[in-house]
Amino acid sequence: MAYAITQSCCKDASCVSVCPVDCIHPTPDEPDFGTADILYVDPKACIDCGACADACPVAAPKAIDLLSGSEAVFEQLNAAYYERRPEREAPPVHTWEEMGGDLARTLSIAIVGTGPAAAYTARQLLLSTDAKVTMIDKLPVPGGLVRGGVAPDHTDTKKFADLFHWAYRHPRTKMVMNVEVGRDITHDEVLQHHDVVIYGVGARRDRELGVPGEDLSGVYPAPDVVGWYNGALDIDPADIVLAGDRVVIVGNGNVALDLARLLLHDPAVLARTDMPDHAVRAFGDLDVREVVLLGRRGPSAAAFTRPELLMMPPGIDVVVARDQFTEDELAEAEPETNAAVLAGLPLVDVDLTTPPGDRRRLVFAFGRQVVSVEGQDRVEAVQVAPSGVPEQAVKVPCGTLIRATGHRGTPVAGLPFDEATATVPNEHGRVVDPATGRPVPGTYVVGWIKRGATGGIGTNRTCAHETIATIIADANAGQVPWAPRRRLTFGAYVRGRVDGVVGRRRMLAIEKAEERRGEREGRPRVKFGSVDEMLKVSPATSVH
């Protein structure tokens, strides 16, 4: 039987590299790679070798005869992609995997961050060059978005951590954890000990709505809620208090769907994940019966990926609120688009001014915007109007309002920053000073801080390839100066400046302790709730 790629696909494209018959598309070389929700296996060309399943870090490719339940739909989705795909000649080589040649000299490279973008960069540097790598993170534990952003019930996606641990453990890698560049040490201090510094620091800031009442308690940015239910150390559990039988979420991307799914999920399922206990208890105490996803534009602009919606747990009614604008757009939906998926859902008359019913329900409401938030000490209702027509607002009672309106990067100390794009100005990963157009010596970026908050975890692989190719070209052209100090002295230098530095051994001990806590409860791990708890697990050691 052929294989099919399923919901957890994050377009890492490792499967493309190993497929012996070129039956997985689109590849990063192809124009529709950037717009495809997932990659697809051609069932007619697949030889059932299983190489894709072995290579995938998140177990997305599965034999068709093993698909069951909500995953069964992926057999048809994979086949349908090739029914409409034009014939293309396979490239003789995947150019996106080329690094740009060998390094003329061994570089010492610091990578700030340990999330997907940073870890892909470290992994590829270690695989394709003889560079020596130092990974620096403000937390005592690694993972970035994999640890703190992936929904707890997406257990396959969390398997990325296993892929990245190879880089963390590599003998040419040093881990310098619980150290924040820009707070504990400066960019220039890092460059004193390394030829190159690469920032893979992501994007944590959200986009505010700019409406009256937005500062009321119970109005939260999605990144904070996601961090709260993932045990982020910079979010106090008491800072997020979910309430009400209806929750309104502004946005309809994958983060909004994650939030909706967890709010409506069976709490017993969440209790078996690595969700921290405070969040498990909070979700268990909730009685949310309706989640409303508001979109300013129409169904054709919905930002979720189809697999995310198709994998919604059973027992939740998923409907689209009827109005003439939405009905007209759904009637004209192009095949295989989000609008076409939404057109297959029940289109119902929804009165958001009345209390929700008894059944759990997810409502897509398009062409609507929040014009104000009402309440005394906490949000009690939102005024929702057709987009651009605020005078037609209606009062929608709700206990919680969440902004899932996208992520924005924050300035990196010592580097230029573009507020319009919320990125560090760069050319193919090379940081440039916008005032002069000249490169900032030895400084590069990767991931969302480089390209903006677009693309999933796997997209960072091709992004890392591009930045590394730029570094290699610059180094071989003599444009990367030698660091004035040796990389080997960096650990001692940092420990002389910062208390509580965590090296690799201590980092791994913390992770192992979390896993042991999880084993006792039948969960993947039970996370520590503070840095102090983590530091008590293992005595201080040197930076490794």
* CATH number of the domain residue 269 falls in: 3.50.50.60
Contact call for residues 200 and 491 (beta carbons, < 8 A) = no
Does 43 fall in a domain? yes
Total domains in the chain come to 3
Query: Are 331 and 466 found together in one domain?
Result: no
H/E element holding 199?
strand 196-199
Query: Are 48 and 179 found together in one domain?
Result: no
Query: Are 122 and 33 found together in one domain?
Result: no
Question: Tokens 């150390």 sit at which residue?
Answer: 233
Does 466 fall in a domain? yes
272 phi and psi, to 5 degrees? -100, 5
Check residue 542 and give its pLDDT.
47
Looking at 96, 114, 133, the residue that finishes a domain is 96
| Cα 33 to the center of its chain, rounded Å | 18
Cα Rg, the chain, nearest whole Å: 24
Does 372 fall in a domain? yes
279 phi and psi, to 5 degrees? -75, -40
pTM above 0.75, yes or no: yes
CATH at 19: 3.30.70.20
Query: Are 225 and 332 found together in one domain?
Result: yes
Does 540 fall in a domain? no
Check residue 97 and give its pLDDT.
62
Query: Are 77 and 140 found together in one domain?
Result: no
What Cα–Cα distance (Å) separates residue 315 from each residue in 14, 338, 368, 381? 35, 22, 26, 26
Query: Are 117 and 82 found together in one domain?
Result: no
CATH at 481: 3.40.50.720
Strand partners of residue 427: 430
Query: Are 398 and 460 found together in one domain?
Result: no
Query: Are 27 and 142 found together in one domain?
Result: no
DSSP sequence for 432-491: E-TTT-PEEEEEEE-THHHH-S-S-TTHHHHHHHHHHHHHHHHHHTT-SPPPSS-GGGHH
Query: Are 373 and 243 found together in one domain?
Result: yes
Looking at 96, 116, 142, the residue that finishes a domain is 96
What Cα–Cα distance (Å) separates residue 364 from each residue in 37, 86, 324, 348, 422? 20, 33, 14, 10, 29
Check residue 96 and give its pLDDT.
58
Does 543 fall in a domain? no
Check residue 541 and give its pLDDT.
54
Query: Are 226 and 346 found together in one domain?
Result: yes
Residue among 209, 145, 151 at smallest CA distance from 403: 209
Does 56 fall in a domain? yes
Q: Which long-range contacts (CB under 8 A, 24 or more apart) does 336-340 make?
A: 336/80, 336/81, 336/84, 337/300, 338/299, 338/300, 338/302, 338/303, 338/304, 338/306, 339/298, 339/299, 339/300, 339/302
Strand partners of residue 62: 4
Question: Tokens 């939405």 sit at which residue?
Answer: 326
Helix axes 254-264, 222-229, angle to 10 degrees: 50
Looking at 404, 421, 436, the residue that finishes a domain is 404
Does 77 fall in a domain? yes
Query: Are 167 and 145 found together in one domain?
Result: yes
Q: How many Å apart are CA 242 and CA 400, to the nearest integer?
A: 6
Contact call for residues 77 and 71 (beta carbons, < 8 A) = no
Query: Are 455 and 308 found together in one domain?
Result: no
Check residue 459 and give its pLDDT.
86
Question: Tokens 């979010």 sit at which residue?
Answer: 235
Does 515 fall in a domain? yes
* Low-confidence spans in the chain with pLDDT less than 70: 88-101, 539-544
Q: Which domain holds residue 276?
A: 210-404
Calculate the dihedral angle through the C-alpha atoms of 273, 320, 404, 353, rounding to the nearest 10 degrees: -110
